[in-house]
Amino acid sequence: MITLLGKILPGKRDRLEQWMINLNNSLAMAEFPGEPKKLLLLLPHCLQNDECAHRLTKNVLNCAGCGKCNVADLVKMTKKYSIITKVATGGRLATRWVREIKPDLILAIACEKELTEGISAVYPFRVIGITNARPAGPCVNTAVETKKVEDYFIRFSAER
Ligand code: SF4
């Protein structure tokens, strides 16, 4: 429905998608049984600095922690809170990670479009979507508010 509305009102697409993500997040938080034993953090490939040669899709721990992109901080956090973290190059790989890992809850970082499509694609797995920032335009050198991600980790770690 959101996709159709986005086609009818193209200038409002991002806002409609953000509205849907916020609604989904509220529902996921309200419905969550309270003890997410297995949390999966899904990162988009575009979060990695485009000059970085490390292969994160194989293993996010391949990040050397240079700090040129948000991946360094996210890796530190996922080690601290024992979160499974995967990097996906697109929706198909993200869906594969979800089906293989079968997490209780997913924290997914992506643009509005990828998040709305991904939330539907992996249903009934519960997803909390965090929208990325695109200071260099879409799909390259994107960023995320790492504090927002850590706030979720803290909340869910307290319940584990
Ligand atoms: S922080 Fe990690 S992923 Fe980002 S550029 Fe540095 S080594 Fe690469």
* pLDDT tens-place string over residues 118-130: 999 999 999 999 9
Q: Is 48 in the pocket of ligand 1 (CB under 6 A)?
A: yes
78-96: per-residue pLDDT in tens? 999 999 999 999 999 999 9
The pLDDT value given to residue 144 = 98
Grade residue 6 by pLDDT with cuts at 50, 70 and 90.
Answer: low
The pLDDT value given to residue 15 = 86
For residues 128-136, average pLDDT: 97
* pTM for this entry: 0.91
Q: Is 45 in the pocket of ligand 1 (CB under 6 A)?
A: no
Q: Is 142 in the pocket of ligand 1 (CB under 6 A)?
A: no
Structural domains of the chain in order of their starting residue, each with its CATH number: 2-158 (3.40.50)
CA 34 from chain centre, in angstroms, equals 20
> What would the DSSP string read from start to end of 50-68?
TT----TTT-GGG----SS
The pLDDT value given to residue 84 = 96
Give the pair of three-digit tokens for residue 73. 């901080």
Mutate to test the pocket of ligand 1, among 71, 73, 75, 87 (most ligand atoms within 8 A of CB): 71
Q: In 3-state terms, what secondary structure has residue 129?
A: strand
Q: Provide CB contacts within 8 A for 146, sequence distance 6+.
A: 70, 73, 74, 77
